[in-house]
Amino acid sequence: MTQRKNGLAAFGLAAALLCLTGCKGAKNRPVNVVGSTSVQPFAEVLAQEYEKRNPAERVEVQGGGSTAGLQAAVNGLADIGMCSRSLNEAEAGQFTPITIARDGLAIVVNPANTVDGLSLEQLRGIFSGRIANWEAVGGKGSPIRLIAREEGSGTRESFMHLVMDKDRIPAGAIAQESNGAVKELVKGDPAAIGFMSLGLVGKELKALAIDGAEPTHENVLNGKYKLARPFLFAVKGAPGAGAQKFIDFVLSADAQKMLEDEGLIRAK
Protein backbone atom coordinates (compact mmCIF):
# COMPACT_ATOMS: atom_id res chain seq x y z
CA MET A 1 0.00 0.00 0.00
CA THR A 2 2.84 2.41 0.94
CA GLN A 3 4.64 1.64 -2.33
CA ARG A 4 1.47 2.34 -4.29
CA LYS A 5 0.90 5.57 -2.36
CA ASN A 6 4.45 6.71 -3.06
CA GLY A 7 4.03 5.85 -6.74
CA LEU A 8 0.84 7.87 -6.98
CA ALA A 9 2.47 10.78 -5.18
CA ALA A 10 5.41 10.69 -7.57
CA PHE A 11 3.03 10.58 -10.54
CA GLY A 12 1.12 13.56 -9.16
CA LEU A 13 4.33 15.51 -8.64
CA ALA A 14 5.51 14.72 -12.16
CA ALA A 15 2.14 15.72 -13.64
CA ALA A 16 2.12 19.01 -11.75
CA LEU A 17 5.65 19.81 -12.85
CA LEU A 18 4.93 18.91 -16.46
CA CYS A 19 2.03 21.32 -16.39
CA LEU A 20 4.24 24.02 -14.97
CA THR A 21 6.87 23.48 -17.63
CA GLY A 22 4.58 22.77 -20.56
CA CYS A 23 1.43 24.81 -20.00
CA LYS A 24 3.17 28.15 -20.35
CA GLY A 25 5.10 29.63 -23.18
CA ALA A 26 8.85 29.13 -23.08
CA LYS A 27 9.39 32.87 -22.76
CA ASN A 28 7.40 33.04 -19.52
CA ARG A 29 8.28 29.62 -18.16
CA PRO A 30 8.91 29.78 -14.40
CA VAL A 31 12.02 28.47 -12.71
CA ASN A 32 10.91 25.22 -11.04
CA VAL A 33 12.49 24.50 -7.65
CA VAL A 34 11.53 21.11 -6.15
CA GLY A 35 12.53 18.97 -3.20
CA SER A 36 13.29 19.15 0.50
CA THR A 37 10.43 20.23 2.74
CA SER A 38 13.07 21.63 5.13
CA VAL A 39 14.43 23.96 2.46
CA GLN A 40 11.00 24.67 0.94
CA PRO A 41 9.72 27.41 3.32
CA PHE A 42 12.98 29.32 3.03
CA ALA A 43 13.01 28.96 -0.76
CA GLU A 44 9.43 30.28 -0.85
CA VAL A 45 10.45 33.39 1.09
CA LEU A 46 13.35 33.94 -1.29
CA ALA A 47 11.14 33.38 -4.34
CA GLN A 48 8.63 35.96 -3.15
CA GLU A 49 11.34 38.57 -2.66
CA TYR A 50 12.97 37.68 -5.98
CA GLU A 51 9.67 38.13 -7.86
CA LYS A 52 9.07 41.42 -6.07
CA ARG A 53 12.43 42.66 -7.33
CA ASN A 54 12.01 41.08 -10.77
CA PRO A 55 8.31 41.41 -11.73
CA ALA A 56 8.77 39.68 -15.09
CA GLU A 57 10.26 36.55 -13.47
CA ARG A 58 8.48 33.62 -11.80
CA VAL A 59 9.80 30.96 -9.44
CA GLU A 60 7.63 27.96 -8.54
CA VAL A 61 8.64 26.14 -5.32
CA GLN A 62 7.30 22.67 -4.50
CA GLY A 63 8.15 20.13 -1.79
CA GLY A 64 8.21 16.35 -2.03
CA GLY A 65 11.48 15.54 -0.25
CA SER A 66 15.17 15.74 -1.11
CA THR A 67 15.23 12.50 -3.11
CA ALA A 68 12.15 13.54 -5.12
CA GLY A 69 13.78 16.89 -5.86
CA LEU A 70 16.94 15.25 -7.19
CA GLN A 71 14.87 12.87 -9.31
CA ALA A 72 12.88 15.78 -10.71
CA ALA A 73 16.11 17.56 -11.64
CA VAL A 74 17.49 14.40 -13.31
CA ASN A 75 14.30 13.98 -15.34
CA GLY A 76 14.21 17.61 -16.43
CA LEU A 77 11.06 18.30 -14.43
CA ALA A 78 12.84 20.80 -12.18
CA ASP A 79 15.49 23.40 -12.87
CA ILE A 80 16.76 23.15 -9.30
CA GLY A 81 16.50 20.32 -6.78
CA MET A 82 16.39 21.27 -3.10
CA CYS A 83 18.31 18.96 -0.77
CA SER A 84 18.71 19.12 3.01
CA ARG A 85 21.66 16.73 3.22
CA SER A 86 25.04 16.19 1.63
CA LEU A 87 24.98 14.40 -1.72
CA ASN A 88 26.18 10.82 -1.80
CA GLU A 89 28.97 9.73 -4.14
CA ALA A 90 26.65 8.73 -6.98
CA GLU A 91 24.62 11.94 -6.72
CA ALA A 92 27.77 14.07 -6.60
CA GLY A 93 28.65 12.70 -10.03
CA GLN A 94 25.29 13.81 -11.44
CA PHE A 95 24.78 17.24 -9.88
CA THR A 96 26.53 20.47 -9.08
CA PRO A 97 25.68 21.18 -5.42
CA ILE A 98 25.31 24.83 -4.38
CA THR A 99 25.26 25.43 -0.62
CA ILE A 100 22.71 28.16 0.02
CA ALA A 101 22.78 27.95 3.85
CA ARG A 102 23.59 25.70 6.79
CA ASP A 103 21.15 24.37 9.34
CA GLY A 104 21.34 22.62 12.68
CA LEU A 105 19.38 19.40 13.12
CA ALA A 106 17.35 19.97 16.28
CA ILE A 107 16.26 17.20 18.63
CA VAL A 108 12.90 18.40 19.94
CA VAL A 109 10.62 17.50 22.83
CA ASN A 110 7.50 18.96 24.37
CA PRO A 111 8.24 21.90 26.73
CA ALA A 112 6.66 19.90 29.57
CA ASN A 113 9.43 17.30 29.26
CA THR A 114 11.94 17.73 32.13
CA VAL A 115 14.90 16.45 30.07
CA ASP A 116 17.08 19.29 28.81
CA GLY A 117 19.88 17.37 27.12
CA LEU A 118 21.12 13.99 25.97
CA SER A 119 24.43 12.43 25.03
CA LEU A 120 24.78 11.30 21.43
CA GLU A 121 24.87 7.72 22.74
CA GLN A 122 21.59 8.23 24.62
CA LEU A 123 20.00 9.79 21.54
CA ARG A 124 21.05 6.83 19.43
CA GLY A 125 19.72 4.46 22.09
CA ILE A 126 16.35 6.22 22.10
CA PHE A 127 15.89 6.20 18.33
CA SER A 128 17.06 2.61 18.00
CA GLY A 129 14.51 1.53 20.62
CA ARG A 130 17.08 0.35 23.20
CA ILE A 131 16.00 3.15 25.56
CA ALA A 132 12.23 3.08 25.72
CA ASN A 133 11.35 5.09 28.84
CA TRP A 134 12.17 8.70 29.73
CA GLU A 135 13.13 7.64 33.25
CA ALA A 136 16.29 6.01 31.83
CA VAL A 137 17.63 9.42 30.76
CA GLY A 138 16.54 11.43 33.80
CA GLY A 139 12.97 12.23 32.83
CA LYS A 140 9.58 11.26 34.19
CA GLY A 141 8.63 7.60 33.98
CA SER A 142 6.68 7.33 30.75
CA PRO A 143 7.21 5.45 27.47
CA ILE A 144 9.10 7.40 24.81
CA ARG A 145 7.18 8.02 21.60
CA LEU A 146 9.40 8.36 18.54
CA ILE A 147 8.51 10.85 15.81
CA ALA A 148 10.65 10.48 12.69
CA ARG A 149 10.69 11.72 9.11
CA GLU A 150 9.70 9.53 6.20
CA GLU A 151 12.08 7.49 4.03
CA GLY A 152 13.55 9.67 1.28
CA SER A 153 13.58 12.75 3.50
CA GLY A 154 16.89 14.61 3.56
CA THR A 155 16.28 15.38 7.23
CA ARG A 156 15.96 11.66 8.00
CA GLU A 157 19.06 10.79 5.97
CA SER A 158 21.06 13.51 7.75
CA PHE A 159 19.85 12.17 11.10
CA MET A 160 20.80 8.62 10.17
CA HIS A 161 24.29 9.75 9.12
CA LEU A 162 24.94 12.09 12.06
CA VAL A 163 23.32 10.07 14.85
CA MET A 164 22.44 6.47 14.11
CA ASP A 165 25.67 5.00 12.71
CA LYS A 166 24.64 1.43 11.81
CA ASP A 167 21.49 1.37 13.95
CA ARG A 168 18.04 1.64 12.43
CA ILE A 169 14.92 3.47 13.54
CA PRO A 170 12.28 0.88 14.55
CA ALA A 171 9.15 0.39 12.47
CA GLY A 172 7.01 1.55 15.37
CA ALA A 173 8.27 5.13 15.07
CA ILE A 174 5.65 7.53 13.67
CA ALA A 175 6.90 8.79 10.31
CA GLN A 176 5.86 12.28 9.19
CA GLU A 177 6.24 13.96 5.82
CA SER A 178 7.31 17.45 6.91
CA ASN A 179 8.96 19.45 9.67
CA GLY A 180 5.57 21.02 10.39
CA ALA A 181 3.95 17.63 10.97
CA VAL A 182 6.76 16.59 13.34
CA LYS A 183 6.36 19.88 15.19
CA GLU A 184 2.60 19.45 15.65
CA LEU A 185 2.90 15.91 17.01
CA VAL A 186 5.68 16.78 19.47
CA LYS A 187 3.87 19.96 20.54
CA GLY A 188 0.84 17.89 21.51
CA ASP A 189 2.60 14.98 23.23
CA PRO A 190 4.75 15.36 26.40
CA ALA A 191 6.24 11.88 25.83
CA ALA A 192 7.30 12.49 22.20
CA ILE A 193 10.72 13.19 20.74
CA GLY A 194 11.50 14.12 17.15
CA PHE A 195 14.09 15.73 14.91
CA MET A 196 13.67 18.69 12.58
CA SER A 197 15.28 21.78 11.12
CA LEU A 198 16.67 24.05 13.85
CA GLY A 199 15.57 27.05 11.80
CA LEU A 200 11.91 25.98 12.13
CA VAL A 201 11.71 25.04 15.82
CA GLY A 202 10.33 28.35 17.10
CA LYS A 203 9.20 28.81 20.71
CA GLU A 204 6.63 26.01 20.88
CA LEU A 205 9.12 23.17 21.35
CA LYS A 206 12.22 22.53 23.44
CA ALA A 207 15.40 21.76 21.48
CA LEU A 208 17.74 19.55 23.51
CA ALA A 209 21.45 20.07 24.10
CA ILE A 210 23.52 17.19 22.70
CA ASP A 211 26.76 16.18 24.45
CA GLY A 212 26.48 19.38 26.47
CA ALA A 213 26.26 21.71 23.44
CA GLU A 214 23.17 23.86 23.08
CA PRO A 215 21.59 23.88 19.57
CA THR A 216 22.40 27.48 18.67
CA HIS A 217 23.65 29.13 15.50
CA GLU A 218 26.87 30.08 17.29
CA ASN A 219 27.52 26.47 18.31
CA VAL A 220 26.81 25.19 14.81
CA LEU A 221 29.31 27.72 13.42
CA ASN A 222 32.02 26.97 15.97
CA GLY A 223 31.54 23.21 15.64
CA LYS A 224 30.46 22.55 19.24
CA TYR A 225 27.00 21.40 18.16
CA LYS A 226 27.76 18.49 15.85
CA LEU A 227 24.31 17.89 14.36
CA ALA A 228 24.56 20.23 11.37
CA ARG A 229 23.94 19.87 7.64
CA PRO A 230 24.00 21.89 4.44
CA PHE A 231 20.97 23.21 2.59
CA LEU A 232 21.68 22.68 -1.10
CA PHE A 233 20.41 23.68 -4.49
CA ALA A 234 21.38 20.86 -6.88
CA VAL A 235 21.52 21.46 -10.63
CA LYS A 236 22.20 18.99 -13.41
CA GLY A 237 24.57 20.44 -15.99
CA ALA A 238 24.69 24.16 -16.60
CA PRO A 239 21.60 25.91 -15.21
CA GLY A 240 19.42 27.89 -17.60
CA ALA A 241 19.57 31.67 -17.59
CA GLY A 242 16.49 32.00 -15.36
CA ALA A 243 17.72 29.43 -12.85
CA GLN A 244 21.16 31.02 -12.74
CA LYS A 245 19.65 34.44 -12.11
CA PHE A 246 17.66 33.08 -9.16
CA ILE A 247 20.71 31.23 -7.79
CA ASP A 248 22.76 34.42 -8.01
CA PHE A 249 20.07 36.22 -6.02
CA VAL A 250 19.95 33.49 -3.36
CA LEU A 251 23.72 33.77 -2.88
CA SER A 252 23.64 37.58 -2.75
CA ALA A 253 24.30 39.43 0.52
CA ASP A 254 20.67 40.57 0.75
CA ALA A 255 19.24 37.07 0.35
CA GLN A 256 21.77 35.53 2.71
CA LYS A 257 20.77 38.10 5.34
CA MET A 258 17.13 37.09 4.76
CA LEU A 259 17.99 33.43 5.39
CA GLU A 260 19.86 34.39 8.52
CA ASP A 261 16.85 36.41 9.74
CA GLU A 262 14.65 33.35 9.06
CA GLY A 263 16.77 31.21 11.38
CA LEU A 264 19.44 29.67 9.12
CA ILE A 265 23.20 30.16 8.99
CA ARG A 266 24.40 31.98 5.90
CA ALA A 267 26.44 30.01 3.38
CA LYS A 268 29.12 32.70 3.21
Q: What CATH number has the domain bearing residue 221?
A: 3.40.190.10
> Based on the domain organization, do 126 and 224 belong to the same domain?
yes
Q: What angle do CA 208, 209, 213 make, to 5 degrees?
A: 160
Q: Check whether residue 126 and residue 211 sit in a common domain.
A: yes
Residue 10 has pLDDT above 60, yes or no: no
Q: Note whether 37 and 157 are within 8 A (CB).
A: no
Q: Find the angle CA(134)-CA(119)-CA(174) to the nearest 5 degrees.
A: 50
Give the residue numbers spanning the domain of 7.
2-102+229-266
Q: Quick one: 117 and 74 in the same domain? A: no
Number of domains in the chain: 2
Are 90 and 113 within one domain?
Answer: no
| Structure confidence by residue, pLDDT tens digits, 54-66 | 999 999 999 999 9
Q: Are residues 218 and 157 in the same domain?
A: yes
Task: Indicate the range of 30-34, 152-156, 159-163, 168-172 predicted with least confidence.
Answer: 152-156
Say what the pLDDT of residue 263 is.
85
Decide if pLDDT at 148 tops 80.
yes
